Structure 1
Amino acid sequence: MKFISTRGQASPASFVDACLSGLAPDGGLFVPETWPRIEPAGPNETYVDVAVRVLAAFAEDELDEATLRGICERAYASFAHQSVAPLVQWGPNAFLMELHHGPTLAFKDVAMQLIAQFFDTVLSRRGERMSVTCATSGDTGGAAAAAFAGASNVDLFILHPFERISPVQRLFMTTTGASNVHNIAIDEDFDACQAIVKALFADRDFVVRSGLSGVNSINWARIAAQAVYYATAQAALGTDRPLRIVVPSGNMGDALAGYVAARCGLLHGFEAVCAVNENDALRVLLGEGRMARASAVSTPSPAMDISIPSNFERIAFEASGRDADLIRQIYNQFAQGGDVDLPEKIKGPLACTGLSAKRVSNTNTLEEMKRVHDETGWLICPHTAVGTSVARSLPESDAMTVVLATAHAAKFPETVEKATGLTPDLPHRVQGVIARDEEFDRVANDLAVVRTFIRDHQRL
Structure 2
Amino acid sequence: MLYLSTRAASGKAAERKRFCEILLEGLAPDGGLYLPETYPQVNAATLEQWRKLPYADLAFEILSLYIDDIPAADLKAICRKTYTAEVFGTKEIVPLRPLEAGLYLQALSNGPTLAFKDMAMQLLGNLFEYELARRGEELNILGATSGDTGSAAEYAMRGKKGVRVFMTSPKGRMSPFQQAQMFSLQDANIHNIAIEGVFDDCQDIVKAVSNDLEFKRRYKIGTVNSINWARLMAQVVYYFSGYFQATAASTGSARTGIQKVSFTVPSGNFGNVCAGHVARMMGLPIDRLVVATNENDVLDEFFRTGVYRVRGSADTHETSSPSMDISKASNFERFVFDLLGRDGEKIRSLFHHELGRQGSFDLSTDAAFDAAAGRYGFVSGKSTHDDRIDTILDTYMRFDTIIDTHTADGVKVARQHMQAGVPMIVLETALPIKFAETIEEAIGIPPPRPEKFDGIEDLPKRVKILPANAAAIQRYIADNVH
State the TM-score, normalizing by the size of structure 2.
Answer: 0.92
AA aligned opposite 2:70: L
1:268 corresponding residue in structure 2: 285
1:76 Cα offset (Å): 2.2
Matched-pair contact (CA < 8 Å) for 2:382–2:413:
yes
Alpha-carbon separation, structure 1, partners of 2:195 and 2:297: 23
1:286 corresponding residue in structure 2: 303
1:270 Cα offset (Å): 3.4
1:379 corresponding residue in structure 2: 402
AA aligned opposite 1:291: Y
**Aligned mate of 2:449, from 426, 437, 444:** 426
Q: Deviations over 1:58-103 (max 9, x none)?
A: 012x112211122112222311122111101101121100111000
Alpha-carbon separation, structure 2, partners of 1:103 and 1:18: 26
Cα root mean square deviation, aligned: 1.4
1:3 corresponding residue in structure 2: 3
Alpha-carbon separation, structure 2, partners of 1:297 and 1:432: 29
Matched-pair contact (CA < 8 Å) for 2:380–2:413:
no
AA aligned opposite 1:262: R
Alpha-carbon separation, structure 1, partners of 2:453 and 2:89: 11
AA aligned opposite 2:242: A
Matched-pair contact (CA < 8 Å) for 1:23–1:219:
yes
- What is the percentage of aligned positions where both structures have the same residue? 37
2:361 corresponding residue in structure 1: 340
SS in 2 for 1:201: helix
SS in 1 for 2:296: coil
2:325 corresponding residue in structure 1: 305
1:92-241 → structure 2 map (5 Å cutoff): 92-238=101-247, 239-241=257-259
Matched-pair contact (CA < 8 Å) for 2:96–2:105:
yes
Alpha-carbon separation, structure 2, partners of 1:304 and 1:293: 14
Alpha-carbon separation, structure 2, partners of 1:336 and 1:344: 20
Alpha-carbon separation, structure 2, partners of 1:432 and 1:121: 34
- Larger deviation: 39-48 or 244-253? 39-48
1:202 Cα offset (Å): 1.1
Alpha-carbon separation, structure 2, partners of 1:306 and 1:362: 16
1:449 corresponding residue in structure 2: 472
Alpha-carbon separation, structure 2, partners of 1:300 and 1:423: 15
Matched-pair contact (CA < 8 Å) for 2:232–2:271:
yes
2:253 corresponding residue in structure 1: none
User: Does residue 1:15 correspond to 2:19, yes or no?
Assistant: yes
Matched-pair contact (CA < 8 Å) for 2:296–2:324:
yes
Matched-pair contact (CA < 8 Å) for 1:259–1:270:
no
- Larger deviation: 280-289 or 392-401? 392-401
Alpha-carbon separation, structure 2, partners of 1:25 and 1:346: 27
AA aligned opposite 2:334: R
Distance 1:52 1:430, change over 3 A: farther
Alpha-carbon separation, structure 2, partners of 1:396 and 1:259: 19
AA aligned opposite 1:216: N
Alpha-carbon separation, structure 2, partners of 1:320 and 1:391: 27
Matched-pair contact (CA < 8 Å) for 1:234–1:241:
no
**Aligned mate of 1:256, from 274, 279, 290:** 274
Q: Deviations over 1:295-323 (max 9, x none)?
A: 31011100001011111101110011111
Q: Deviations over 1:109-136 (max 9, x none)?
A: 0000000000000000000001111100
Matched-pair contact (CA < 8 Å) for 1:320–1:349:
no
Alpha-carbon separation, structure 2, partners of 1:167 and 1:286: 33
User: Does residue 1:406 correspond to 2:415, yes or no?
Assistant: no
Would you identify which runs of 4 or more consecutive aligned residues in structure 1 move more than 6 Å? Answer: none
1:435 Cα offset (Å): 5.1
- Larger deviation: 3-12 or 280-289? 3-12
User: Does residue 1:69 correspond to 2:76, yes or no?
Assistant: yes
State the TM-score, normalizing by the size of structure 1.
Answer: 0.96
SS in 2 for 1:313: helix
1:395 Cα offset (Å): 4.4
SS in 2 for 1:246: strand
Matched-pair contact (CA < 8 Å) for 2:294–2:382:
yes
Alpha-carbon separation, structure 2, partners of 1:436 and 1:76: 29
1:353 Cα offset (Å): 1.1
Q: Deviations over 1:239-260 (max 9, x none)?
A: 4421111100010111011111
1:46 corresponding residue in structure 2: 54
1:142 Cα offset (Å): 0.5
SS in 2 for 1:297: coil
Matched-pair contact (CA < 8 Å) for 2:290–2:417:
no
Q: What are structure 2's unaligned runs of at least 5 residues?
A: 248-256
What is the aligned residue count?
457
1:215 Cα offset (Å): 0.9
SS in 1 for 2:286: coil
1:457 Cα offset (Å): 1.0
1:392 Cα offset (Å): 2.0
**Aligned mate of 2:459, from 407, 421, 436:** 436
Matched-pair contact (CA < 8 Å) for 2:56–2:82:
no
